[in-house]
Chains A and B, each alone.
Chain A
Amino acid sequence: MGRDVVIRAEGLGKNFIIGHQAERESYVALRDVIARNARNLWRTTTDVLKGRPSIEGDELEEFWALRDVSFEVERGEVVGVIGRNGAGKSTLLKVLSRITEPTEGRVEIRGRVASLLEVGTGFHPELTGRENIYLNGAVLGMTHGEIRRKFDEIIAFAEVERFLDTPVKRYSSGMYVRLAFAVAAHLEPEILIVDEVLAVGDAEFQKKCLGKMGEVAGEGRTVVFVSHNMGSVAQLCASAILLVKGRVDYVGSSTEVISRYTASGRRSPDAEGSNALYVRDSSHKVREGAILRATMLDRAGRPVSFVESDAPVTFRVTAVSVLDDAPLTIFIVLRDQLGRTLAKFESDPRRHPLAFEAGQASLECRIDNLPLLAGEYRFGVALAQSRSHIIDYQEDVATFSVLAAASDPRVAMSPWAEGSLAIRHDWVTPERGDLARPAAE
């Protein structure tokens, strides 16, 4: 009996029919056109009558957004669902939150479910903040009494007391999001299904979301969490499910699943290209010079899109220039999600000249241990001849994730950590003599 499963999915599948336009013959006979149109008209009519969605196109193809998906989630577990775009994450979430029905298979869910695929669902711009709290709460499944009980808490969380009776169309976007999230944060379901809601809002807001979700998980609630942000999956979820092309590829601990996910990207032949932080669009013309490519490498020299907190990392930058005998410098700028600069690395052309071969040159910036907390960071890179002569500046061109260091407890890992820096530290209880000394002075 031991295991207490609250979500059990068995052989879940969802298919869509998509239409293709058949290749057009080289010459088109009017007779064919009429025949085809008549056929399509007939099909459309029967579809309408039978209540089936009609499909455009001449050839129909089944497309399985999900297939044979089985998994179990236990009470109190926080599970991440990861996968590339089109892997079926959103479809799975929509099936779990009952928005669409599975084509085959079944899911059993025990307990009160709330799904949060968006913050502020149902908000009406003409209604006031107060009215929208009731509306949004009801849409998310709260009862009227429940909303009334939590009303004061919600407005305190959102910090919009003064604008409670103002239509939300007059709110700033920040206020709007705060209010929307405040309602969502006060849902108290037993099972919470969350989509990439963290993608909206600024970094502070994301932190607040993560903190709140951490609390939810701490209260023994079950959470299913879909995200592209490996940092937050690693931070929040103990286990994860990897979806590949609509099928479950792997289920395991979140660190295992994340490394498998990123490894799957590496297997492609053009590994460096596909995993690069930045690749120059070759259709743009190069004048004096340009940054061609920037890649982040892990300790084994493999291109990656995330690193662990406090781990060694290398940024490799490849540039092209016609000014190949001029002293050229490469800058790398790391910023946090609020756009605050955290570090700027600058190569010295006298010590590290760019060695051009066939017009291209690479330079690596090696960092022994990247002292950043888990989260998302922005990467920018530039090629310059001098401080006043910047040849190519790709500001904030890429985002990379830093995951919490699983191995080193000296680097802060709390989900409530604030700031950006992961500084190695220890806490020590001082000896008695040490304590006494300052008082004696």
Chain B
Amino acid sequence: MTTTTASDDRSSGAADARTRAAERVLVLEAGWAERHYWLDLWAYRELFAILAWRDLAVRYKQTVIGAAWAIIRPFLTMLIFTVIFGRLAKMPTEGHTPYPLLVFAGMLPWFLFSTILSDASASLVGNANLIGKVYFPRLIVPAATIAVALVDFAITFALMLLMMAYFHFMPDWRILFLPFFVLLAVLASLGPSLLMTALNVKYRDFRYVIPFVLQFGLYVSPVGFASKAVPEQWRLLYNLNPAVGVIDGFRWCLLGGQAHLYMPGFLASLGVVAIMLWVGVAYFRKTERTFADLL
């Protein structure tokens, strides 16, 4: 589709007045880009794919053990959390789920969330050379980092399936809802990422915020324990952390009916995700025009 329109465009360069009239007219003035935002984004989808592919290619070229990182990191974290929360603190599990599976089901969305947050936040500054030299909708850059995070997620998910086989644990029909929760995890991380990456362009100190938030968030979010460990009267408040809703959702669909979804809390998390996404996109769009001047 793209290739045909593009080549039509090109051949009309030397062509007759008929095609000339149909030529694309581009107007550059203050605020024009604003009004054609989403259309423009769609027009640049091919660049988005290429940038996502580049991030992937580079990621696995520069590492020695490549994809193994996507396994080692969550696996070791899972072991530690199982020992600390499961054995030492004797936290309750969901139903009769083996504790390692409980932890791993929480780890999946958490690592997806944290990878996107840290990669996307650094993305604009990391691509400063591109932004200063060519035009494209800037949203493409942070969005392209999602691809790498999703590939890592797929690898980690394969490990999850292996672990389920090891524990002879059978997920049920709820696993069909997994894509929805993956999307939710992506959206939940995209909002704050967009905000952070935009702020990072001018104020480089925001890059120190992310590792701190992630380190903090790993313990504040129910990654190493089940969220039902939180006292009933605090649960709604606890769910204002969007990661809580996402993690609960993952456990609900992966742990085959052992974990229950606390609906009011889940809806609260959804609301927070939506608000943060809106704030992130709005702030990004507002500042994106000045990125080239600041980088």
- For B9, the closest partner residue in chain A by CB is A112
Q: Does A72 contact B (CB under 8 A)?
A: no
Chain A contacts of B130 at CB under 8 A?
121-122, 139
A-side contacts of B16, CB under 8 Å: none
Which residue, of B27, B58, B293, has the highest number of chain A Cβ atoms within 10 A?
B293
Given A99-B133, A115-B134, A122-B130, the answer on whether A134 and B50 have CB atoms closer than 8 Å is yes
A53 with B202, Cβ < 8 A, contacts A16-B293, A115-B134 known: yes
Residue B69 CB within 8 A of the other chain: no
Q: What does the 1/0 interface line of A126-149 toward B look like (CB < 8 Å)?
A: 110001001100111101111000
Q: What are the interface flags for B1-30 relative to A under an 8 Å C-beta threshold, 1 for contact and 0 otherwise?
A: 011001101100110000000011111111
| B residues less than 8 Å from A126 (CB atoms) | 57-58, 61-62
If A48-B199, A112-B10 touch, whether A100 touches B292 (CB-CB below 8 Å) is: yes
Given A53-B294, A124-B58, A139 and B134 contact (CB-CB distance below 8 Å): yes
Is B27 within 8 A of A99, CB to CB?
no
Q: Mark A89-133, 1 if CB is under 8 A from B, else 0.
A: 000001111111111111111111101011001101011000100
A190 at the interface (CB under 8 A from B): yes
Q: Which of B98-106, B149-157, B179-187, B283-291 contacts A (4 or more CB under 8 A)?
A: B283-291
Contact B3 A98 (CB under 8 A): no
Q: Is the CB of B9 within 8 A of A94?
A: no
> Which B residues are CB-close (under 8 A) to A143?
2-3, 6-7, 46
Considering the complex, give the chain B residue whose CB is closest to the CB of A112: B9
A167: chain B residues within 8 A (beta carbon): 61
Q: Does any Cβ of B come within 8 Å of A51's Cβ? A: yes
Instruction: Find chain A residues with CB under 8 A from B6 CB.
Output: 112, 143, 145-146
Establish whether residues B133 and A121, one from each chain, have CB atoms under 8 Å apart when the complex forms.
yes
Contact between B27 and A106 (Cβ–Cβ < 8 Å)? yes
Q: Does B271 contact A (CB under 8 A)?
A: no
Decide yes or no: A110 and B23 within 8 Å by CB, A122-B129, A143-B6 being known contacts: yes
By a CB distance below 8 angstroms, the chain A residues around B136 are 139
**B49, chain A: closest CB distance, angstroms:** 8
- B25: which A residues are within 8 A, CB to CB? 108-110
Contact A107 B29, beta carbon cutoff 8 Å:
yes
Chain A residues 19-71 with CB under 8 Å of chain B are 48, 51, 53-54
Q: How large is the interface on B (under 10, 10 to 19, 20 to 34, 35 or more residues)?
A: 35 or more
Distance in angstroms from B281 CB to nearest chain A CB is 12
> Contact: B2 with A97, CB < 8 Å?
no
Q: Are B28 and A107 in contact (CB under 8 A)?
A: yes
Is the Cβ of B133 less than 8 Å from the Cβ of A138? no
Q: How far is the CB of A120 from chain B (nearest CB, A)?
A: 10
Cβ 8 A contact of A99, one of B7, B54, B62, B292 = B292
Q: Which of A108, A115, A122, A135 makes the CB contact (< 8 A) with B135?
A: A115
Chain A interface, number of residues (Cβ within 8 angstroms): 51
**B62 touching A109, Cβ below 8 Å:** no
Q: Do B30 and A48 have beta carbons less than 8 Å apart?
A: no
B27 in contact with A107 (CB, 8 Å): yes
- Residues of B contacting A108 in the complex (Cβ-Cβ under 8 angstroms): 25-28
Is there an interface contact between A220 and B3, defined as CB atoms closer than 8 Å?
Answer: no
Answer whether residue A221 sits at the interface, using C-beta atoms and an 8 A cutoff.
Answer: yes
Is A54's CB under 8 angstroms from B202's CB? yes
Q: At the interface, yes or no: B132 with Cβ under 8 Å from chain A?
A: yes
Q: Are B50's CB and A97's CB within 8 A? A: no
Does B134 contact A121, Cβ atoms closer than 8 Å?
A: yes
Chain B hits for A53, CB < 8 A: 202, 287, 290, 293-294
Within the complex, what minimum Cβ distance (angstroms) separates B50 from chain A? Answer: 4
B59 closest partner in A (C-beta): A126
Q: Is the CB of A144 within 8 A of B57?
A: no
Check B57–A127 contact: CB distance below 8 A.
yes
Q: Would you call B42 an interface residue if the criterion is a C-beta within 8 Å of the partner chain's C-beta atoms? A: no
- A188 contacts partner chain B, Cβ-Cβ < 8 Å: yes
For B3, B133, B290, B292, which residue has the most chain A Cβ atoms within 10 angstroms? B133
B47 located at the interface, meaning its Cβ lies under 8 Å from any Cβ of chain A in the complex: yes
B268 to chain A, nearest CB (A): 25
Given contacts A53-B293, A99-B135, A121-B133, contact A220 B28 (CB under 8 A): no
Contact with A along B94-135 (1 / 0, CB 8 A): 000000000000000000000000000000000001111111
Docked-complex contact A138 and B50, CB < 8 angstroms? yes
Asked whether any CB of chain A lies closer than 8 Å to the CB of B203, the reply is yes
Q: Are A97 and B135 in contact (CB under 8 A)?
A: yes
Residue B33 is within 8 A (CB to CB) of chain A in the complex:
yes
Please provide the chain A residues from 210 to 237 with a CB less than 8 Å away from any CB of chain B in the complex.
219-221
Are the C-beta atoms of B54 and A101 separated by less than 8 Å?
no
Q: A144 contacts B29, CB within 8 Å?
A: no
A100 to B: closest C-beta gap in Å: 5
Q: Are A102 and B28 in contact (CB under 8 A)?
A: yes
Q: Output the least CB separation between A11 and chain B (Å).
A: 10
Do A51 and B286 touch across chains, with their CB atoms under 8 A apart?
yes
What's the minimum C-beta distance from A80 to chain B, rounded to whole angstroms? 21
CB distance from A54 to the nearest CB of B (A): 7
Contact A98 B28 (CB under 8 A): yes
Asked whether A99 lies within 8 Å of B134 as measured between CB atoms, the reply is yes
A127 touches B202 (CB 8 A): no
Chain A's nearest CB lies how many Å from the CB of B91? 40
Closest beta carbon of chain A to B285's beta carbon, Å: 9
Question: Could you jot down 27 A-B contacts, CB within 8 Å?
Answer: A16-B293, A51-B283, A53-B202, A53-B294, A95-B28, A99-B135, A99-B292, A101-B32, A103-B30, A105-B29, A106-B28, A107-B29, A109-B25, A109-B27, A110-B23, A112-B9, A113-B26, A115-B134, A121-B129, A121-B133, A122-B134, A126-B62, A135-B50, A143-B3, A143-B6, A145-B3, A167-B61
- The 4 A-B residue pairs with the shortest CB-CB distance, nearest first, are A106-B29, A98-B135, A145-B3, A51-B286
Given contacts A100-B290, A113-B26, 16 further A-B contacts (CB under 8 A): A54-B203, A98-B26, A98-B135, A108-B26, A108-B28, A109-B25, A110-B23, A112-B10, A117-B134, A121-B129, A126-B57, A126-B58, A139-B50, A144-B3, A188-B13, A190-B10
